[in-house]
Amino acid sequence: MTSTPMPAPGGTEPVAAAAEAPGDEGLQKGPLVTPPPATATGVPMIAIDGISKWYGSFQVLTNCTTQVEKGEVVVVCGPSGSGKSTLIKCVNALEPFQTGQITVDGTKVKDKGTNLPKLRSRVGMVFQHFELFPHLSIIANLTLAQRKVLGRGADDAGKRGRDLLARVGLSAHADKFPGQLSGGQQQRVAIARALAMNPVVMLFDEPTSALDPEMVGEVLDVMVELARDGMTMMVVTHEMGFARKVADRVIFMDKGEIVEDAKKDDFFGKPRSERAQHFLSKILQH
């Protein structure tokens, strides 16, 4: 007995396989970034000062200190379990921390007077597993937060969303649902959704680790364009080719500590710590 295709959420048409979707148009010309208001001169976009965090009695971050200047691209790398993702999630308070302070564009994250929803609306976040709403169309995924958080009208939010879908090569997929897209397409939608909020910072938590190898390049291409457009970025990744091409600095973490914080050429050319040397010797040989 043959099975009947399930209807798409909220519709009556069968869900098409990603392979049957119209082809991508490719990255379109024009900036992905809408310039945010100018940050005060000499003030880093992100300042991380002495951050420590525990899960119960287990310490996952130990006295982490660094900063990211406006327009800078910083790659955070290290072995699994080193605290990379935890650190980046502390930047917009998705993970609480016990000691230290983080400041984003002049706003202190750990401050009783800080409006965290407002802060998060200015800090774009792209996760490993896309986190799109499966029951909403692609364009609805891009307009929901614009309308609910920023108060944009439906027309303005829709125009912003469709402009960004065009820029990441997905105009033809605006009215589909996430399950009808490939993993690489969904991650590009997730990037476009974050950009729709006009963030001052973009955080990426291993954005390609859940993708098939053939889909990694299409996501990295968008991230390279973002960097060229001047977006401030912190990127947790094992994609060392991307780091070599785009990063200004590399932060290497191990056992919850920042072991190295160096210019890209210094890190890849002559890492100071034996731990970083060992890490690079393993990851760069593949």
- Model confidence at 284, pLDDT cuts 50, 70, 90, reads confident
Residues whose CB is less than 8 angstroms from the CB of residue 79 and which lie 6 or more positions away in sequence, other chains included = 254, 279
Q: Give pLDDT, residue 104.
A: 94
Average pLDDT over residues 78-90: 95
Average pLDDT over residues 50-62: 96
Of 119-123, 177-181, 254-258, the one with minimum mean pLDDT is 119-123
Please tell me the total count of domains within the chain: 1
Residue 60 belongs to what domain range? 46-284
- Model confidence at 190, pLDDT cuts 50, 70, 90, reads very high
Instruction: Tell me the per-residue pLDDT of 242-252, one tens digit each, with 9 for 90 and over.
Output: 999 999 999 99
Instruction: Tell me the per-residue pLDDT of 139-150, one tens digit each, with 9 for 90 and over.
Output: 999 999 999 999
- Model confidence at 180, pLDDT cuts 50, 70, 90, reads very high
Residues whose CB is less than 8 angstroms from the CB of residue 81 and which lie 6 or more positions away in sequence, other chains included = none
**279 CB-contact burial (10 Å; exposed 0-12 / middle 13-18 / buried 19+):** buried
Give the pair of three-digit tokens for residue 11.
């519709």
Residue 118 lies in a domain: yes
Residue 255 lies in a domain: yes
5 has pLDDT over 50: no
Average pLDDT over residues 84-103: 95
- Say how far apart CA 131 and CA 136 lie, in whole Å: 12
Q: Which contiguous run of DSSP H or E holds residue 250?
A: strand 249-254
Instruction: Tell me the per-residue pLDDT of 197-230, one tens digit each, with 9 for 90 and over.
Output: 999 999 999 999 888 888 899 999 999 999 999 9
117: alpha, beta or left? (left if phi > 0; alpha if psi -120 to 50): alpha
**129 CB-contact burial (10 Å; exposed 0-12 / middle 13-18 / buried 19+):** middle
Q: Which amino acid is at 68?
A: V
Average pLDDT over residues 124-143: 94
Residue 163 lies in a domain: yes
- Model confidence at 28, pLDDT cuts 50, 70, 90, reads low
- Say how far apart CA 175 and CA 216 lie, in whole Å: 24
**Cβ atoms 205, 89 nearer than 8 A:** yes
Task: Give the angle subtended at the CA of 169 by the CAs of 171 and 24, to the nearest 5°.
Answer: 85
Residue 38 lies in a domain: no
Give me the CATH number covering residue 154.
3.40.50.300
Give the pair of three-digit tokens for residue 5.
């295709």
Adjacency order of strands within the sheet including 58-68: 58-68, 46-55, 99-104, 107-108
- Model confidence at 253, pLDDT cuts 50, 70, 90, reads very high
Residue 24 lies in a domain: no
Of 24, 13, 77, nearest in space to 221 by CA: 24
Count of CA atoms in the C-beta half-sphere (13 A) of 237: 26
Residue 99 lies in a domain: yes
Give the pair of three-digit tokens for residue 142.
């891009």
Residue 226 lies in a domain: yes
Residue 40 lies in a domain: no
Instruction: Tell me the per-residue pLDDT of 114-127, one tens digit each, with 9 for 90 and over.
Output: 998 889 889 999 99
Q: Give pLDDT, residue 7.
A: 42
Of 108, 69, 97, nearest in space to 201 by CA: 69
